[in-house]
Structure 1
């Protein structure tokens, strides 16, 4: 497993807009359509990454708990499906259904959205406030496959609590760690 950290986009950065296909509904959706009343969590995910598989159930729990509080969650996969066919949109839909994702799982075929967010790894997490200004970016928690630390979502959940209660963003914010995004050949 490659261990690639987040690039840590500067706090306050406006959320880059996108319009991408949702692999579950088949509809093209935009950030404007998906944003939450109180905040939006953008997650760069993929099907095959052991780091994502390790946290899938916690992502489902967090989304289920916070969507009712005005926070929307959005999953995006930007991996090169030619060289990583297990991340193909048809299989993304199967993963979303199997895992019970309560959020859209979008496919970024051109990888333009990942570049705009300066995404580096899967999973990579970004929490934006109601004005779509970056409030938190970094890890879900300290758990990684094989390190024996339970998956709790504590870092992202703390950031969500801070946002909802009007407290300042958590400091420090630790980068996420996961598999590198699988960039298309010659695209870097």
Structure 2
């Protein structure tokens, strides 16, 4: 799927985080870019990336980048998501997306997956954080491709993202099926 087809995502949403704070278009429009990590509490690969997510936020938040995580599994109680966010020390808000609207519109399919959005909501990058995970049971000892950092550097320098989409190895997102109204 071409990144150009994935547009106008973030500004359409007002989502609450695990602490009850509402995040929406006014906040997102002030950012130079928006990073959304798609996570779930029961994915060990996603959990293993939280320290790197926090490091990336620390590196780029002073440059006007807003960071959020989205809990992708709607069957997990909000209290459990809140506890998980605290236990794993996320340094940015963990959003609750009860209809998986942001997940679906961004095109996320696995955790950990990341979307980099322009402040207008256009998806500029969708894919892996880096290439540390080669397969579900195989990790590199040294990261050789820092895909999200490369995408952020390009966007902040006013250049196009060199690879707008990269493959993700992770836990598949369980999508909620919407009941059709008569």
Which TM-score band (shorter chain)?
Answer: 0.7 to 0.9
CA change 1:66–1:187 in 2 (3 A) is farther
CA change 1:116–1:91 in 2 (3 A) is same
Contact 1:74 1:103 in 2 (8 A): yes
Q: Which residue of 1 aligns with 2:137?
A: 146
Q: TM-score, normalised by structure 1?
A: 0.80
Q: 1:18 aligns with which of 13, 20, 27?
A: 13
Q: TM-score, normalised by structure 2?
A: 0.83
Say if 2:39 is the partner of 1:48.
Answer: no
Superposed displacement of residue 114, structure 1? 1.9
CA change 1:105–1:134 in 2 (3 A) is same
Contact 1:9 1:117 in 2 (8 A): no
Q: Equivalents in 2 of 1:62, 1:39: separation in Å?
A: 13
Q: Which residue of 2 aligns with 1:181?
A: 173
Q: Which residue of 2 aligns with 1:27?
A: 21
Q: Secondary structure at the match of 2:148?
A: helix
Q: Which residue of 2 aligns with 1:122?
A: 111
Over the aligned positions, Cα root-mean-square deviation in angstroms equals 2.4
Higher mean alpha-carbon deviation, 170-179 vs 65-74, is at 170-179
Unaligned runs of 5+ in 1: 1-7, 82-86
Q: Equivalents in 2 of 1:70, 1:131: separation in Å?
A: 14
Say if 2:68 is the partner of 1:79.
Answer: no
Superposed displacement of residue 154, structure 1? 0.9
Higher mean alpha-carbon deviation, 103-112 vs 28-37, is at 28-37
Q: Secondary structure at the match of 1:42?
A: strand
Contact 1:9 1:118 in 2 (8 A): no
Q: 1:93 aligns with which of 72, 82, 86?
A: 82
Contact 2:35 2:65 in 1 (8 A): yes
Q: 1:161 aligns with which of 153, 160, 174?
A: 153
Q: Equivalents in 1 of 2:40, 2:54: separation in Å?
A: 15
CA change 1:27–1:41 in 2 (3 A) is same
Number of corresponding residues: 175
Unaligned runs of 5+ in 2: none
